[in-house]
Amino acid sequence: MLQQTRVDVVVPYYERFVACFPTLPALADAAEADVLGCWAGLGYYARARNLHRAAAAVVRDHGGELPREAAALAALPGIGRYTVGALRSIAFGERAAVVDGNVRRVLARLCGLSAPTDTELWRIAEELVPERGAGDWNQALMELGATVCLPRNPGCAACPVGSDCAARASGAPERFPAPVKRAAPRRMRALAGVVTRRGRVLVWRRPSDGLFGGLWELPTVTGADPATLLAELERRTGIGARAGASLGQLRHPLTHRDLRLEVLELEDCGGRLRTSARGDARFCSPGELARLPLSALAKKALALARPMVQ
């Protein structure tokens, strides 16, 4: 949960998640929809799906006990080199290094590296980690980067290794490491449609993989052509509709995309919900919507549709 998300945001989600799924078998046995529902609002939903799959793999292949070997941990869905090191050092007390964004900054500044490679930083981290107390050491490094060795205005005067820091000695610690140039987010347009029957709104579930995988939303397509939305609505659900007025536009920044979503009112032209679609599409009341796993964007879109659903 802490990957790309602040601690203060994570804490209530973590507490609720552990209350819902207190053991690995409980998580493994849960429906994906329930896991996503407990995660909804935290974003980066691939993390939740991978956590669910990893729990199932641990129960299936390791008797419900998290393996201790690095190779076995790395084989679990969603677990990379950093998580392997964190689990081995913090959970199991073994000598293993970690390199996250905060540790990267601390090590680069300590060694005066302007453009360090991942290989270089992992080598340094592995050389420095002690034989005993590796978990405490790794957490201290991460905390140092999170609270003292900040990207801007680092607290060098309070740093316990400031006297040995090459970046501080240079007089310009913020220059280490040099900022990585990131590509501008790709602009993406999408259309969502609101079809209602007797105060209920039609929603469907996204495929399990990909953006917002497994979550529910208003019928949505990529692009800006209402004809595409109407055709996809008919294809997936059997419901016919005509495009009506725009209910508003939403902007939803993502890591690599700048999503602009327009929500359209759609006039119901009849048709029965196909039997084959009923597991992944349904007409819902407001109360039923509240129990579905919805992304923050889907909730914003449904808020625009609220006058039609009352």
- Which of 181, 212, 234 is where one domain is finished? 181
Domain identity same for 202 and 287: yes
- Which of 181, 199, 228 is where one domain is finished? 181
Does some domain include residue 92?
no
* β-bridge partners, 284: 201
Structure tokens at 33: 């929809």
Domain identity same for 208 and 276: yes
CB atoms within 10 A of CB 274: 14
**Which pLDDT does position 310 carry in this prediction?**
58
Number of domains in the chain: 3
Three-state SS for 124-140 is HHHHHCCCCCHHHHHHH
Domain identity same for 24 and 75: yes
CATH number for the domain including 128? 1.10.1670.10
Find all residues with CB under 8 Å of 102, minimum gap 6, and list them.
141, 142, 143, 144, 145, 146, 149
Find all residues with CB under 8 Å of 278, minimum gap 6, and list them.
none
Domain identity same for 20 and 6: yes
Domain identity same for 193 and 305: yes
Q: Would you say how long the chain is, in residues?
A: 310
Does some domain include residue 20?
yes
Does some domain include residue 17?
yes
Q: How many Cα atoms occupy the beta-carbon half-sphere of 50 within 13 Å?
A: 16
Name the 3-class secondary structure at 253: strand
Domain identity same for 269 and 190: yes
The DSSP secondary structure of 76-125, one letter per residue, reads STT--HHHHHHIIIIIT--------HHHHHHHHHHHT-SS--HHHHHHHH
Find all residues with CB under 8 Å of 257, minimum gap 6, and list them.
185, 186, 187, 188
CB-count burial class (<10 Å; 0-12, 13-18, 19+) for 110: buried
Range of 1's domain?
Answer: 1-79
Q: What is the DSSP letter of 302?
A: H
CB contact at 8 A, 48 and 72: no
Domain identity same for 253 and 292: yes
CB contact at 8 A, 206 and 215: yes
CB contact at 8 A, 290 and 201: no
Separation CA 269–CA 158 (nearest Å): 68
Domain identity same for 146 and 204: no
Domain identity same for 170 and 192: no
Per-residue pLDDT of the chain (310 residues; tens, 9 = 90+): 988 888 899 999 999 999 999 999 999 999 999 999 999 889 889 999 999 999 999 999 999 999 999 999 999 999 999 999 999 999 999 999 999 999 999 999 999 999 999 999 999 999 999 999 999 999 999 999 999 999 999 999 999 999 999 999 999 999 999 988 888 889 999 999 999 999 999 999 998 888 888 999 999 999 999 999 999 999 999 999 999 999 999 999 887 889 999 999 999 999 999 887 778 999 999 999 989 999 999 999 999 988 766 5
Does some domain include residue 54?
yes
**Which pLDDT does position 309 carry in this prediction?**
65
Does some domain include residue 37?
yes
pTM for this prediction: 0.80
Peptide bond into 177 cis (omega under 30): yes
Does some domain include residue 203?
yes
CATH number for the domain including 213? 3.90.79.10
Closest CA to 194 of 228, 238, 242, 259: 242
Domain identity same for 22 and 53: yes
Domain identity same for 125 and 66: no
Q: How many Cα atoms occupy the beta-carbon half-sphere of 6 within 13 Å?
A: 3
Name the 3-class secondary structure at 271: coil
**Which pLDDT does position 268 carry in this prediction?**
96
Q: Report the sign of the C-alpha dihedral through residues 130, 136, 140, 142, in that order.
A: positive
Structure tokens at 42: 């935290």
Does some domain include residue 88?
no
Q: Which helix (H) or strand (E) holds 251?
A: strand 241-253
Separation CA 273–CA 281 (nearest Å): 8
**Which pLDDT does position 184 carry in this prediction?**
85
